[in-house]
Amino acid sequence: MKILLACAVTFLVLLLARKARGTKSDFLVIYFSWSGFTEAAAKVISQKTGGLLLELEPIKPYPEDYSDCVEQAKIEQSKQAFPEIKDLKLPEPDQFGPVFLGYPNWWGSIPRPVASFLKKYSLDGRTVIPFCTHGGGGAGRSLMDLKILAPEADFKKPLVIRVNDVASLPRKIEKLLLDERLITVSSGT
């Protein structure tokens, strides 16, 4: 009888622990965005996965004028600069799992604040799912550049999202996440 009771209690404890694990996502969704599209994508990913959303911000914001921003980005790209970024409140290393890392395609690669992020914070041994928004150039050579900056991270196939209407974004992202088995059920929104 005692053995039966012990088994039942153990089963109940395991069931509760499993339930608790299932309710909290350990994904992180870290993103840089200039005009807001990558931010919109990041919010959808966070909502669909339950991941914690963290914005990557340079200390000195980029110019609001498009041409000025393009020019500055071009100079930073050619210098392979590491612009200073604000501190991110990352959870303790054992408190998070896979990391979504989002950015717009800038000059065929990553905006340099993303390079600063990879220099400042270690993603060694982490699963990283890049998501790149773009105006027609796809992910360019950004994945290659990410791998050079963080050779010990485990980069997965990136989600590549062309900039267009924000209204279709949730549906598209959900399909990408389901196709890549990053979520298993539709969140229904």
Ligand X SMILES: Cc1cc2nc3c(=O)[nH]c(=O)nc-3n(C[C@H](O)[C@H](O)[C@H](O)COP(=O)(O)O)c2cc1C
Give the residue with the Cβ less far from ligand X, 106 or 155. 106
Cβ-contact 56, 117 below 8 angstroms = yes
Residues 6+ apart with CB under 8 A from 56: 30, 31, 32, 85, 88, 113, 114, 117
Instruction: Find the shortest distance in angstroms from Cβ 118 to ligand X.
Output: 18
Q: Which two tokens stand for residue 91?
A: 């959870």
- DSSP 8-state assignment for residue 157: P
Q: Which two tokens stand for residue 100?
A: 């979504």
Q: Which stretch binds ligand X (CB under 6 A): 51-59, 99-107, 115-123, 174-182?
A: 99-107
Residue in 12, 36, 152, 157 binding ligand X, rule: CB under 6 A: 36
Residue in 70, 144, 148, 166 binding ligand X, rule: CB under 6 A: 70
Instruction: Find the shortest distance in angstroms from Cβ 152 to ligand X.
Output: 27
Return residues touching ligand X (CB under 6 A): 33-39, 69-70, 73, 104-108, 133-137, 163
